Amino acid sequence: MSIIAVFAGTYCNDELVIEKILKETGYKYRTDSNIVTKASRSSGLSEGKVSKAFSAKTSAFNQFTHEKERSISYLKLAVAETLFEDNILINGFTSLLVPARISTVLRVCIIADMKHRVALALSAGMSEGEALKVLHKSDEDRIFWTRSILEKDDPWDASTYDMVIPTDKMTPEEIADLVNKNLGTDILKTLAQDEKAIQNFLLASQVETALAKEGHFVAAEADAGAVTLTINKKVLMLEKLEKELQAMAVTIPGVKSVRTKVGGKFYQADVYRQYDLEVPSKLLLVDDERQFIQTLSDRLRLREIGSVVAYDGESALEMIKEEEPDVMILDLKMPGIDGIEVLKRVKQTKPHIEIIILTGQGSEADKKLCMELGAFAYLEKPVDVTLLSETIKKANEKIKLKTENKPN
Tens digits of residue pLDDT in 184-204: 665 545 566 788 999 999 999
Query: Based on the number of CB atoms within 10 Å of its own CB, is 398 exposed (0-12), middle (13-18) or buried (19 or more)?
Result: middle
Q: Are residues 34 and 164 in the same domain?
A: yes
Q: Which residues lie below 8 Å from residue 391, measured CB to CB, with a gap of 6+?
A: 356, 376, 377, 379
Q: Tell me, yes or no, whether 81 lies in a domain.
A: yes
On whether the CB atoms of residues 38 and 30 are closer than 8 A, the answer is: no
Residue 275 covered by a domain: no
| Residue 306 and residue 350 in one domain | yes
- The residues pairing with 222 across neighbouring beta strands, listed in sequence order, are 227
| pLDDT value of position 319 | 86
269 domain-assigned? no
- CA torsion 257-263-268-273 (nearest 10°) is -50
Sequence-ordered strand ranges (E) for 113-205: 163-166
Contact, 69 vs 26, CB < 8 A?
no
Residue 55 lies in a domain: yes
Residues 379 and 300 in one domain: yes
Contacts of residue 5, Cβ cutoff 8 Å, sequence gap at least 6: 89, 90, 95, 96, 98, 105, 106, 107, 108
Amino acid at 357: I
For the stretch 225-269, pLDDT in tens is 999 999 877 666 778 888 999 999 999 999 999 999 887 655 544
What pLDDT, on the 0 to 100 scale, is given for residue 35?
Answer: 98
340/399 same-domain check:
yes
CA dist., res. 296 & res. 197, Å (int): 50
Secondary structure (3-state) at 189: coil
Query: Which of these three, 157, 184, 211, is where a domain ends?
Result: 184
Instruction: Give residue 272's pLDDT.
Output: 38
Cα–Cα distance between 180 and 4 in angstroms, integer? 10
Tally of CB atoms within 10 A around 11: 23
Domain extent, residue 36, equals 3-184
Question: 133, 150, 184 — which closes off a domain?
Answer: 184
Does any domain span residue 365?
yes
According to the model, what pLDDT value does residue 406 have? Answer: 63
Q: How far apart (Å, rounded) are the C-alpha atoms in residues 350 and 372?
A: 16
Radius of gyration of the chain, Cα coordinates, nearest whole angstrom: 25
Return the bridge partners of 389, or none: none
Q: Are 62 and 68 in contact (CB under 8 A)?
A: yes
> What CATH number corresponds to the domain at position 197?
3.30.70
Say how far apart CA 62 and CA 249 lie, in whole Å: 24
Note the pLDDT of residue 262.
83
99 and 169 share one domain: yes
The residues, any chain, with a CB within 8 Å of residue 276's CB and separated by 6 or more, are: 304
Whether 270 is in a domain gets the answer no
Residues of the chain with pLDDT under 70: 1, 184-192, 234-236, 264-280, 404-408
Residues 151 and 81 in one domain: yes
Residue 216 lies in a domain: yes
88 and 206, same domain (yes or no): no
Prior bond of 407 cis (ω within 30°): no
The answer to whether residue 199 sits within a structural domain is: yes
Q: Give the H/E segment covering residue 376.
A: none
Judgement on whether residues 228 and 176 belong to the same structural domain of the protein:
no
Residue 93, pLDDT score: 98
Which of 184, 205, 221 is where one domain is finished?
A: 184
Q: Say whether both 302 and 160 belong to one domain.
A: no
Residues 7 and 31 both lie in one domain: yes
Phi, psi for residue 179 in degrees, rounded to 5:
-65, -45
- The CATH number covering residue 124 comes to 3.40.50.300
Are 178 and 197 part of one and the same domain? no
Burial class (CB in 10 A: 0-12, 13-18, 19+), 254: middle
Closest by Cα among 207, 182, 318 to 260: 207
* Structural domains in the chain (count): 3
Answer yes or no: do 21 and 119 share one domain: yes
pTM of the entire predicted model: 0.77
